Structure 1
Amino acid sequence: MTNELTESKIQQALEWAYDKALNGIPGAGTAEELAAQYLKDSDSPLDAVNSLIRWQNTKAATSGFLAGLGGIVTLPVTIPANVASVLYVQLRMITAIAYIGGHDPKDDRVKALAYTCLAGSAAKDILKDAGIAIAQKIAINSIKGISRATITKINQAVGFRLITKFGTTGVINLGKAVPLLGGIVGATFDSVTTNIVGNVARDTFVASADTLAA
């Protein structure tokens, strides 16, 4: 079976990782539980998010972090395990940040924004290309009321970006070496991109949260 990542496989990986982020896997709580933990120990939502991002970066930089994901045994066999693992770790962080900002990750519009955050610095371009006007920061109210077709377009654009990103770093080729090689070789890449993704999620769901009327 080939390890080549296609658009359908990355969409399958995104759905798998998002479901696990919201519902939890053995040994790891849900994103909502993670959000509650950081809110409890912080003075404000913004402080909670910054603490979460710092913790997640430390976790991502630890060479063995991928091997510790017990729920990885349930992932679809067509998806490289370390790709799915990175998506899970980052989506759990993003959806926890969305919860901290008072948003519901089960909403398809919030889900589309969460996926967009995975694209890091390209997130604004993806939304702009989908016809969504963005000012200085990505604002969740920019996608309120958009059509399902537009959400699909956003998700497809994210999938394409992720295929390019994972392919460029060579992480796809390490798919069967997750327990040792994948975790070690991918550590620097995971930490750097996780920091960028976390910052985009913070700006999306929390930094402008005071302007987001329900």
Structure 2
Amino acid sequence: MTSPMAPASTGMVVINKVISIGIDGIGPLSSAREIAEESLAHHGEVEKAIDRLIATHMRLVGATGFATGVGGAFTMPVTIPADITLLYAYAARCSAGIAHLRGYDVTSEEVRSAVLLSLLGSAGSAVLADIGINVANKTAMAALNKLPGTILIEINKKVGYRLFTKFGTKGAINLVKWIPLAGGGVGSAVNVATMRSIGRYSKSTFTPVSSPSAGLV
């Protein structure tokens, strides 16, 4: 029998899944850039597209279940609630979509780390403080700009650890399927509130690139 992975290791598995599924897209799930461009094409204005992107993702995570059948998207057994992974994959897609619409390169490691920090909301500043980065009056994106890759990896690890420990190890599942949200431990209202909060935080983090407070990418 395989022994359970340590929280830090499991947290990184979650983060890698969130990035690969939520930001890059997989199978029928559009990437952050694709869905952002679709929203912009439909609404015509960046800020309207952003607001609708948030609203769309709030509806998605508030639904009674997620689609099944993404095959190889989840091939590694992980001891975490599946609905949490999916919630944050959608949240990362929304956050990265906002970043893209505001002019950021979502393939950039700095931007990806900022997206992950957005999943923690204001608590993300504590992660940065843990490694000696004082955000002060800067956005998380500006604080991450030009940091070495090794530091960004460490930030990602800390985000993954916090997400994992926040929800604990209860409920062993196999991420080979999208488990219906109705069977998870997180209610629809909580998911919607979480997505709304992450959307607002992402809007403040990814200020337009022309803004003085924006991080250059």
Q: TM-score, normalised by structure 1?
A: 0.82
User: Superposed, which structure 2 residues align to 1:171-210 within 5 Å?
Assistant: 172-173=170-171, 175=173, 178-179=179-180, 181-182=182-183, 185-206=186-207, 210=211
Aligned equivalent of 1:60:
61
Across the two proteins, how many residue pairs are aligned to each other? 209
Q: What residue ranges of structure 2 are gaps of 5+ in the alignment?
A: none
Q: Quick one: distance in 2 between partners of 1:190 and 1:209? A: 32
**Conserved? CA contact 1:46–1:206, under 8 Å:** no
Query: What is the alpha-carbon root mean square deviation over aligned residues?
Result: 2.8
Inter-partner Cα distance in structure 2 for 1:181 and 1:21: 20
Contact 1:140 1:204 in 2 (8 A): yes
Shift of 1:69: 4.7
Q: 1:102-181 residue pairs with structure 2 within 5 A? A: 102-136=103-137, 138-167=139-168, 172-173=170-171, 175=173, 178-179=179-180, 181=182
Of 54-63 and 183-192, the range deviating more from structure 2? 183-192
- Give, in whole Å, the separation in 2 of the partners of 1:98 and 1:193: 18
Distance 1:209 1:128 in 2: 27
* Shift, 1:42, TM fit: 3.4
List runs of 5+ in structure 1 lacking aligned partners. none
Extract structure 1 runs of 4+ deviating beyond 4 A: 1-5, 174-177
Cα distance between partner residues in 2 of 1:101 and 1:198: 13
Judged with a 3 Å threshold, the aligned counterparts in structure 2 of structure 1 residues 125 and 182 are, in CA distance, closer, same or farther, namely same
Name the structure 2 match of 1:76.
75
Equivalent position amino acid for 2:161 in 1: F
Distance change (3 Å), C-alpha of 1:142 and 1:70: same
User: In structure 2, do the counterparts of structure 1 residues 155 and 184 end up closer, same or farther at CA, with 3 Å as the change threshold?
Assistant: closer
Query: Given the two structures, how large is their TM-score scaled by the length of structure 2?
Result: 0.81
- SS of residue paired to 1:106: coil
Structure-2 separation of matches of 1:194 and 1:70:
24
